[in-house]
Amino acid sequence: MKKRVRKIANFFAFNLLFFALYLNFIHKDQQNTPAADATLQPKAAAFSGTVLVEHPEKYLAQKN
């Protein structure tokens, strides 16, 4: 009986693994088709890291 339960548990675990791989790779890739991406605008990054300043002397004068 334990052998049968172990076989059934392994079967479900194996199927769950492949279902997770399917959701992670195959299902995600179908949504990102080139035709669907052509209509979307590219999103700008929320924070680019550095910002250029037009008049840096204004900020340097405040420090001195």
Per-residue pLDDT tens digits for 8-53: 999 999 999 999 888 888 766 555 555 555 555 656 666 667 777 7
First to last CA, the chain: 83
pLDDT tier for residue 4 given thresholds of 50, 70 and 90: very high
- ∠ CA 33-37-39 to the nearest 5 degrees? 135
Give the predicted TM-score (pTM) of the model. 0.40
Q: Per the structure, how many domains does the chain have?
A: 1
**Per-residue pLDDT, 3:** 93
- Cα dihedral: 18, 19, 24, 26 (round 10): 90
**Domain assignment of residue 52, given as a range:** 2-63
C-alpha of 13 from chain center: 25
28 or 6: which leads in pLDDT: 6
**Distance separating alpha carbons of residues 34 and 14, to the nearest angstrom:** 33
| Structural tokens at position 57 | 């002397």
Q: What is the pLDDT of residue 34?
A: 57
